[in-house]
């Protein structure tokens, strides 16, 4: 069965790169260790690249070694939606922007045990980083 085609406005298509469209609207995954925010350690907030919804605070970002930006918690409960994803014969939890529905990445249960124990594995291209202005 074909997946329904996502609704993408002309404005969005102009704003986003081809890779961003592939990840956010077609549930693609960027190649590991390629994202420009992977090693970003600045203080600030990570937003949805499509709609600007704030998603993750820099305080919860950690080095997971997986090659994708990893966070152990969201900025506010409800800002992301979790959905079951059985694609590629894997039982994964998909992380979606609750405001616009953009695909962001997946959530796993192997995060820092002294924190939440969760690992939000997020595509760098799905994120827009806004540093805290001093």
CB of 37 vs Fe ion, minimal distance in Å? 16
Q: Is the CB of 82 or the CB of 100 nearer to Fe ion?
A: 100
Is 121 annotated as catalytic? Answer: yes
CB of 104 vs Fe ion, minimal distance in Å? 8
Q: What is the DSSP string of 59-92?
A: GGEE--SSSS-EESS-SSTTSEEEEEE-GGG--E
CB of 73 vs Fe ion, minimal distance in Å? 18
Q: Is the CB of 7 or the CB of 41 nearer to Fe ion?
A: 7
- 3: tokens are 């997946």
Q: Which residues contact 85 (CB under 8 A, 6 or more apart)?
A: 27, 91, 92, 93, 94, 106
Q: Is the CB of 95 or the CB of 97 nearer to Fe ion?
A: 97
* Residue (of 34, 14, 5, 2) closest to 123 by Cα position: 34
Q: How many CB atoms are closer than 10 A to CB 88?
A: 6
CB of 53 vs Fe ion, minimal distance in Å? 4
* Residue (of 90, 52, 54) closest to 73 by Cα position: 54
The C-alpha atoms of residue 44 and residue 133 are separated, in whole angstroms, by 8
Site residues (CB under 5 A) for Fe ion?
48, 50-51, 53, 97, 99-100, 102
Q: Is the CB of 36 or the CB of 81 nearer to Fe ion?
A: 81
Q: Which of 24, 48, 97, 121 is catalytic?
A: 121
Catalytic machinery residues: 121
């Amino acid at each position: 069965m074909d997946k329904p085609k996502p609704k993408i406005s002309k404005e969005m298509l102009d704003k986003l790169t081809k890779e961003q469209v592939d990840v956010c609207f077609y549930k693609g995954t960027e190649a590991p260790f390629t994202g420009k925010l992977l090693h970003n350690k600045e203080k600030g907030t990570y937003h949805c690249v499509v709609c600007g919804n704030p998603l993750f605070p820099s305080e919860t970002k950690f080095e997971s070694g997986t090659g994708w930006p990893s966070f152990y918690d969201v900025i506010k409960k409800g800002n992301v939606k979790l959905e079951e994803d059985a694609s590629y014969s894997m039982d994964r939890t998909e992380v979606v922007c609750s405001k616009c529905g953009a695909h962001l990445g997946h959530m796993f249960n192997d995060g820092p045990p002294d924190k939440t124990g969760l690992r939000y594995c997020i595509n760098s291209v799905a994120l827009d980083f806004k540093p805290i202005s001093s």
